[in-house]
Structure 1
Amino acid sequence: MPTIVHSPVPGPGGPCPCGSGDVFTECCGRFLSGAADAPTAVQLMRSRYTAFALGDAGHLRSTWHPDTLPDELDLDPDVDWYRLEVVGTAQGGPFDRAGEVEFRAFYGSGGERGELHERSRFRREGRRWLYVDGDVDA
């Protein structure tokens, strides 16, 4: 089985880890840097996947709804996130107040491969989308 290695934050012209096909700085990079807020639930979910892939706990905490934000958030440096597949969405558009995104995120750890399948719930407060919670193995 090939070794799965994640690179550090992509350079200015590098592809976004979320797999959108867009350049990182024009995709999730602007959300992780705080230059912009994700306008839809799916874009926030993609940026949160990218934050997991890059080990950016600050972005994860800042986009987590305060009612469900855990006291501790420990990212495992031995987990390499290497692919995201958006399965479906329900609401979550720029004028919605709530939304759901179902996704599969693929990872490697300790020479083994795994998959996280989740249906995440999001809520928009003001202009910002926030992650509320999710059902794993949706």
Structure 2
Amino acid sequence: MKCPCNPNKLYKNCCKKTHDNIFSAETSEELMRSRYSAFVLGNINYLHKSHHSTTRLSNREYKELKKWTQSVDWVKLQIHNSTDNSVEFTAFFIENGSLETIKEHSIFCIENNHWVYLNAV
């Protein structure tokens, strides 16, 4: 299967490594890409694990998020810029027949010796 974050790579050679072992993400961009793929695949456990403990969603919010992620058709991820601790991106998806986007400047940090999503600015 192609990786959701980059159709030029196989999932097993890309985000699956990080989904199986979060410590394998070496950069904030790698973690961000793995989070996008987790959204596409509905991998809520990984989204929880890769979210900073102080900004993590509640269990109810994760259940709602899983339902939403499975209700849309993910199209692609476009990275605009990345630095040591941030990634600017656009995620494209189809919801109710319309092409929609999420544009975000995400901030990442290290917690418990691995990269995590902190918040968006």
**Moved segments of 4+, more than 3 Å:** none
Higher helix share: 2
Alpha-carbon distance in structure 2 between the residues aligned to 1:81 and 1:128 = 26
- Structure 1: runs of 5 or more not aligned: 1-13, 92-98
Query: Which protein has the larger Cα radius of gyration, Structure 1 or Structure 2?
Result: 1
Kindly tell me the number of residue pairs found equivalent between the two proteins. Answer: 115
Q: CA RMSD in A?
A: 1.5
Of residues 25, 40, 45 in structure 2, which corresponds to 1:38? 25
Higher strand share: 2
Q: Does 1:127 align with 2:120?
A: no
CA apart distance, 1:20: 5.7
TM-score of the pair, normalised by structure 1: 0.78
Q: Percent identity?
A: 32
TM-score of the pair, normalised by structure 2: 0.88
Alpha-carbon distance in structure 1 between the residues aligned to 2:76 and 2:47 = 18
Structure 1 residues 65 and 40: alpha-carbon distance in aligned structure 2, compared to 1, 3 A threshold: same
Q: Which stretch has the larger CA shift, 33-42 or 63-72?
A: 33-42
Structure 1 residues 20 and 89: alpha-carbon distance in aligned structure 2, compared to 1, 3 A threshold: farther
Alpha-carbon distance in structure 2 between the residues aligned to 1:132 and 1:43 = 15
Preserved CA contact (<8 Å) 2:35 2:47: yes
